[in-house]
Amino acid sequence: MKGFTTPAMLNQYGVTSFGSLMTAMANAGLEAFRIVKRLETIPDTFTVYFSKPVQLKEDIIIKAEIMEIGRKAGKVEINVENQNGMIAKGVMSVKVLIR
């Protein structure tokens, strides 16, 4: 996913809030399962490490890579980058919904 930060994503200090970045990361992870395996999933656990703040209107790239997938659960690694390098890294485990 590619995009940029908008004023609605800012916190009181003028940088992108962690909640909005985590929401974008979670959506990218869930979308990776939907695209690759056509699976409906829900988040189970989510561990995120933020390394630096993101400024307003800064271009970001969110990359989600499936690490493991099974019948009932899966794991995905999510990276957030900009032109200067890594912004955040996360690992999310998901539960697979049975159709």
According to the model, what pLDDT value does residue 36 have?
87
Which residues in the chain come in under a pLDDT of 50? none
d(CA 87, CA 89): 7
pTM of the model: 0.87
Residue count (the chain) = 99
According to the model, what pLDDT value does residue 99 have?
65
Nearest partner of 80 among 7, 2, 10, 19, judged by Cα: 2
According to the model, what pLDDT value does residue 1 have?
85
CB 75 within 8 A of CB 64: no
